[in-house]
Amino acid sequence: MQLRASLFCLLSLCFLGGIGRSDDRAWLPLFDGKTLEGWDLRQGSAQVVEGRLEISKKAALYNRGDVRLGMFDYFDFQTDVLTEPGASADIAFEGTLNMPQDIRVAINNSRNWTDGQPKTGSLWEVRRQFKSMVRDGQWFKLRIRRDENGAAVWVNDTLLAERSGRLGGSLTIRGNAGPAKVCFKNVRVLHLTNAKSGPIPAADTVDADIRRLTELERAEFPLLNTHIHLKGDLTLEKALQHSRETGVFYGIAANCGVYFPITTDAGIDEYIKKMEGQPCFIGMQAEGREWPTLFTKKAIARFDYIFTDAMTIVDHCGKRARLWMPEEVDIPDKQAFMELLVHTIETILDNEPVDIYANPTYLPDSIVEEYDALWTAPRVKRVIDAAARNGVAIEISNRLKLPKADFILQAKKAGVKFTLGTNNIDSKLGREEYGVQMIRECELKPADMFLPKPDGKKPVQLRGKG
Ligand SMILES: [Zn+2]
């Protein structure tokens, strides 16, 4: 008897634990597939069509009834979602006015990145997705969970955001203004009764760097780092985990060019296949000056953006020189070298269809101590003018701590946009320390920051040859 009782307890524990198929009965459906029972439509349009809930025209749909979620409740919420082109919505767990730490998750599969709007899976004020993993017209799974660790968001089982200190509240679905619809089915919630409810999770117990990033995110500053490489011990998984921790969205770039990992269209194809559908931008670092001749325009345009630098030049002897390799650097005359370098940068920005000039104003180790004297005002102006007339953004490099504030202020005045980059060599990605310092020092605004162009508007499609 005793054995049977403990066996029963054991089975019950198995049943209660986990969120597998075995405890489906614990999930409470919030939509019966036929009516709007349990919901209050306070504005806009909501209807049930062929078993799905469709909202549009600024719908505000409040959940009521037995499953009202309290501010201090722990829960797991899941739904299947489909968007029509142009439609967007938010799923919010709204607190009271005095407790504004709502959990608000965006649904927006627009392929227009330049609008900067939070895309699907963004946790508002905490972490913005600049690119949706999923597309209009496809059903996808959205999951929002709040437990003792805070709030977390998944799209199709990929964890996109997690952060402590979000309180949640009552469930509301809010639609966009237009007639395009967002559709829902299998809307359900699981009360995490086995998790102990309350107390309020502590506000983010994080260091000053993360706090500064969080402040920028709350001010709707686009936190995007376009220069991350999967190098050394940095795997995609580690990069995405780091991105969730800092709240900075990453563009992960492949090095493409002579002597670099990708030298053909087939190589691009393989890289894009590996990275597609991941919560990151896919960038191309164009290397050397021959790169436009190695790949077709069509293959290049599969990247979300392209950047290059002037670290590989043709030197005074007509020799290909990589400026970070001391054995390839030959500078008999520093002034002549600077003239050649500035001319090279102008030629690159005028002729190569890139989005971003990376590692800007980099000088080889042998002359770097004279950086300030060698980068004279006329030389700085020539580089900034070339970026401005070609609409090329300038990277603020966390690793090189370049360019300096004076340069950034002048470029800002010329209307140049900026992006944060790290150019990491391993998993030490940092926390945008230099970038954040420059954003504050130079008072950069969201509009000063670069966002990748949508398909059809990329420089390689508008400017590129071939
Ligand atoms: Zn790089």
Region(s) of the chain under CATH 2.60.120.560: 24-191
- Cα(262) to centroid(ligand 1), Å: 13
Q: How far is CA 269 from CA 254, 274, 306, 354, 465, in A?
A: 12, 9, 15, 19, 20
- Cα(124) to centroid(ligand 1), Å: 30
- Residue 25: left if φ>0, alpha if ψ -120 to 50, beta else—which one? alpha
Burial class of residue 60 (count of CB atoms within 10 Å of its CB; 0-12, 13-18, 19+): middle
- Cα(43) to centroid(ligand 1), Å: 49
- Cα(136) to centroid(ligand 1), Å: 32
Superfamily of domain 24-191: Exo-inulinase; domain 1 (2.60.120.560)
Which CATH class, in words, describes the domain spanning 208-462?
alpha beta
Rounded to an integer, the average pLDDT of 450-454 is 97
Nearest to 65 by CA among 93, 89, 31: 31
- Cα(105) to centroid(ligand 1), Å: 33
The pLDDT, as a whole number, for residue 206 is 64
- Please report which helix (H) or strand (E) contains residue 297, including its range: helix 297-300
Strand, coil or helix: what is 265? helix
Rounded to an integer, the average pLDDT of 64-73 is 61
Pick the residue with more confidence: 168 or 384? 384
- Cα(364) to centroid(ligand 1), Å: 16
- Cα(285) to centroid(ligand 1), Å: 6
- Cα(227) to centroid(ligand 1), Å: 6
Tokens of 281: 């931008």
Strand partners, 163: 151
- Please report which helix (H) or strand (E) contains residue 460, including its range: helix 459-462
- Cα(51) to centroid(ligand 1), Å: 49
- Cα(343) to centroid(ligand 1), Å: 22
Region(s) of the chain under CATH 3.20.20.140: 208-462
Residue 103 to residue 166: CA distance in whole angstroms: 6
Q: Where are the beta strands (DSSP E) in 99-239?
A: 103-108, 140-147, 150-155, 158-163, 170-175, 182-191, 224-228
- Cα(398) to centroid(ligand 1), Å: 12
- Cα(418) to centroid(ligand 1), Å: 16
The pLDDT, as a whole number, for residue 466 is 47
pTM of the model: 0.90
Phi, psi of 436 (to 5 degrees): -65, -40
- Cα(21) to centroid(ligand 1), Å: 45
Strand, coil or helix: what is 219? coil
Residues 6 or more apart in contact with residue 307 via CB below 8 angstroms: 226, 227, 253, 283, 284, 285, 286, 354, 355, 356, 357, 358, 395, 421
- Cα(229) to centroid(ligand 1), Å: 7
Tokens of 21: 């198929």
For the segment 220-265, what is each residue's pLDDT rounded down to a tens digit?
999 999 999 999 999 999 999 999 999 999 999 999 999 899 999 9
For the segment 89-117, what is each residue's pLDDT rounded down to a tens digit?
999 988 766 655 688 999 999 999 999 89
Residue 99 to residue 371: CA distance in whole angstroms: 51
CA torsion 53-56-58-61 (nearest 10°) is -10
The pLDDT, as a whole number, for residue 150 is 85
- Cα(360) to centroid(ligand 1), Å: 12
